[in-house]
């Protein structure tokens, strides 16, 4: 098992730190726009619940969404409303879409959306790219440089303690690192529920992060003017009603 807190070289250590910095940056952005985020979670919960049973114990996709919603402090009323809508007469049909594109200086961006109007969403995403120094790419032009990853963040435990509880559950994860007084676990996407259960069996029920995400394999830094333009592009994409997630490979300095 890769314990995560002993890296082969400093470059690998810095790479994991950059990944965590990007997750923090994305989460901080969402925390600063709570009403918009809550509305998007409402749609995501509804769609996940409609895919199967509106019960997280029998619907794993829904369980992932609800765990992530918890880390963003989504009010119970919004969650309950989305679940009730899925159980009842809600008949809205949403499609899951993924767009790929490029920002300033060759930066790479992935945009995930849920929409009931594909033409509207495609047009809006393309306009956001075009108006903010970016351009759309074809399918597969960006995602090959990202890895789908399960990420958990916990406080109050050391990396050694986390490693022990994962070993006890016979889980071999990608990495375990300590950052910002928290322990971060990077795991394979299909390990999400097993890692979650291992933590909960060890008495850990609160996570600072618990989600499936797309992490860049390599990062780029932008000059000051390029970074300002890039931030405008990301803001424009995240402001779109149908966009649920935006991932990128730009390193934000702390």
pLDDT tops 60 at residue 5: no
Q: Give Cβ neighbours of residue 148 (< 8 Å, ≥ 6 apart).
A: 189, 212, 213, 214
pLDDT tops 80 at residue 7: no
User: Which of 206, 221, 95 has the alpha carbon at shortest distance from 156?
Assistant: 206
Asked whether 141 and 135 are in contact (CB, 8 A), the reply is no
pLDDT tops 80 at residue 15: no
Give the mean pLDDT of 224-239. Answer: 92
Q: What tokens does 113 get? A: 């959306």
Cα gap 92→73, rounded to integer Å:
25
Cα gap 88→103, rounded to integer Å:
42
Question: What dotted CATH number matches 146-216?
Answer: 3.30.70.980
pLDDT tops 50 at residue 10: no
Cα dist. 176→85, 153, 213 in Å? Answer: 39, 10, 16
Q: Give Cβ neighbours of residue 104 (< 8 Å, ≥ 6 apart).
A: 133, 134, 222, 226, 227, 229, 230, 233
**Backbone CA torsion sign across 114, 118, 121, 125:** positive
Q: Give Cβ neighbours of residue 131 (< 8 Å, ≥ 6 apart).
A: 236
User: Which of 202, 154, 162 has the alpha carbon at shortest distance from 180?
Assistant: 154
pLDDT the model gives residue 121: 97
pLDDT in tens, 17-75: 566 666 666 666 555 567 888 999 999 999 999 988 888 889 999 999 999 999 888 99
Give the SS3 label for residue 40: helix
pLDDT the model gives residue 2: 41
Give the SS3 label for residue 230: helix
| Architecture of the domain defined by 95-144+217-248 | 2-Layer Sandwich (3.30)
Q: What tokens does 187 get? A: 């795991």
Average model confidence (pLDDT) across the chain? 87
pLDDT the model gives residue 32: 54
29 versus 5: which is more confidently predicted?
29
From the CB of residue 31, how many other CB atoms can be counted at a distance below 10 Å? 12
pLDDT tops 80 at residue 12: no
From the CB of residue 120, how many other CB atoms can be counted at a distance below 10 Å? 13
pLDDT the model gives residue 155: 92
pLDDT tops 90 at residue 16: no
pLDDT the model gives residue 191: 95
pLDDT in tens, 130-158: 999 999 999 999 999 999 999 999 999 99
pLDDT the model gives residue 6: 40
Binning pLDDT at 50, 70 and 90, where does residue 254 land? low
pLDDT the model gives residue 92: 82
pLDDT tops 50 at residue 217: yes
pLDDT the model gives residue 91: 76
Residues of the chain with pLDDT > 70, as a percent, come to 85
Same fold, 95-144+217-248 and 146-216: yes
pLDDT tops 70 at residue 181: yes
Phi and psi at 201, nearest 5°, equal -65, -25
Cα dist. 169→64, 199, 201 in Å? Answer: 20, 9, 9
At 183, which helix (H) or strand (E)? strand 182-187
Cα gap 192→148, rounded to integer Å:
11
Cα gap 93→15, rounded to integer Å:
39
Query: 18-27, 86-95, 155-164 — which is least confidently predicted?
Result: 18-27
Give the mean pLDDT of 118-129. Answer: 97
Structural domain spans, the chain: 95-144+217-248, 146-216
pLDDT tops 80 at residue 8: no
Phi and psi at 60, nearest 5°, equal -65, -35
């Amino acid at each position: 098992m890769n314990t995560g807190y002993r890296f082969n070289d400093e470059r690998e250590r810095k790479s994991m730190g950059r990944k965590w910095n990007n997750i923090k940056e994305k989460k901080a952005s969402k925390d600063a726009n709570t009403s918009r985020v809550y509305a998007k979670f409402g749609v995501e919960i509804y769609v996940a619940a409609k895919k199967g049973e509106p019960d997280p114990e029998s619907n794993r996709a829904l369980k992932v969404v609800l765990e992530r919603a918890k880390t963003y402090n989504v009010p119970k009323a919004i969650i309950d409303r989305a679940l009730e809508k899925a159980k009842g007469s809600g008949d809205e049909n949403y499609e899951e879409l993924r767009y790929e594109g490029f920002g300033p200086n060759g930066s790479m961006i992935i945009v995930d959306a849920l929409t009931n109007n594909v033409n509207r969403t495609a047009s809006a995403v393309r306009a956001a790219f075009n108006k903010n120094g970016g351009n759309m790419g074809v399918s597969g032009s960006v995602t090959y440089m990202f890895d789908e990853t399960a990420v958990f963040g916990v406080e109050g435990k050391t990396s050694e303690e986390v490693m022990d509880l994962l070993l006890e559950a016979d889980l071999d994860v990608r990495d375990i690192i300590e950052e910002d007084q928290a322990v971060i676990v990077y795991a394979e996407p299909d390990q999400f529920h097993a890692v979650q259960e291992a933590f909960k069996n060890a008495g850990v029920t609160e996570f600072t992060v618990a989600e499936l995400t797309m992490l860049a394999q390599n990062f780029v830094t932008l000059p000051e003017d390029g970074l300002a333009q890039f931030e405008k592009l990301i803001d424009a994409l995240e402001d779109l009603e149908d966009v649920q997630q935006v991932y990128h490979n730009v390193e934000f300095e702390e």
